[in-house]
Homo-oligomer: A and B are copies of this chain.
Amino acid sequence: MPNRRDLSHVGVATTRQEQKERTRQAILAAALELTSEQGFAGLSLRQVAREVGFVPTAFYRHFDSMEQLGLALVEQSFVPLRHMLRDARRDPATYDDVISASAQVLHRVVLANRSRFVFIARERFGGVAAVRAAIRHELQLFVTDLTTDLERFAQLQHWSADDVQMAARLFVNLMVSTAERLVETPSEAVREQEQIVTDVTRQMRLIVIGFAGWRPR
């Protein structure tokens, strides 16, 4: 029987698969860190290995290629965003406040996961086609989810399906643009960060006002 208490060093409990998972996470973290400086396309396998404390060939024990790493990073980077939207749906805020609440939640999530959002923004149109496609797919999921959410709103009940999706896309675009704006503004610039939050609040409000006056054709 294996002795799970025979630790190789202090502190970390180490079964074999735990260790593997841990270095996998280390690879993801290192790649995210390096990508935020130079972009994923300009990232080399050897750089990742060096950052992790690897020999280059050990990389292949975890990923077949850099492209696979990129896809894993997309997956990982969208997790906080998916959670944010899931929570928002689970706990439906009062109608009037939902706008400014959303803006502030977005702000908080972006700040707490800065490097992941940098990755998404940077690689959305970056050099690796497979990564681009994966990100586009994730964003499209948001559009369809939000479309079904919007269909429940009273004001939009008589809209055509096309129009509802158009509105959903407008919101998702706004979310993406805002996340990009937040990410390209240094987090110390508190004043400008707040300006972005009030901007997106007003922009959403402007759009919602538009809802009332919209007449489907």
Which residues of A approach B to under 8 Å, CB–CB? Answer: 37-39, 41-42, 118, 121-122, 124-127, 132, 136, 163, 166-167, 169-170, 173-174, 176-177, 180, 184, 199, 202-203, 205-214
Contact = CB atoms under 8 A, between A and B. Distances in A.
Contacts of A38: 41, 127
Given A173-B174, A209-B214, 13 more contacts: A41-B127, A125-B180, A126-B126, A163-B202, A166-B203, A170-B174, A170-B203, A205-B210, A206-B214, A208-B210, A209-B209, A210-B210, A212-B213
A36 B174 CA distance: 25
B122 A126 contact: yes
Contacts of A174: 170, 173
A206 B170 contact: yes
Contacts of A42: 39, 41-42, 127
The A interface, classified by DSSP as helix, strand, loop or mixed, is: helix
Contacts of A118: 125
A57 to B, nearest CB: 23
18 contacts: A38-B41, A39-B39, A39-B127, A41-B42, A42-B127, A122-B125, A122-B126, A125-B184, A163-B202, A166-B202, A167-B203, A169-B203, A173-B173, A173-B177, A207-B207, A209-B213, A210-B213, A213-B213
A49 B39 CA distance: 23
A177 B178 CA distance: 12
A88 B126 CA distance: 31
A132 B122 CA distance: 10
Nearest to A177: B173
Nearest to A121: B125
Contacts of A163: 202
A169 B127 CA distance: 27
A98 to B, nearest CB: 17
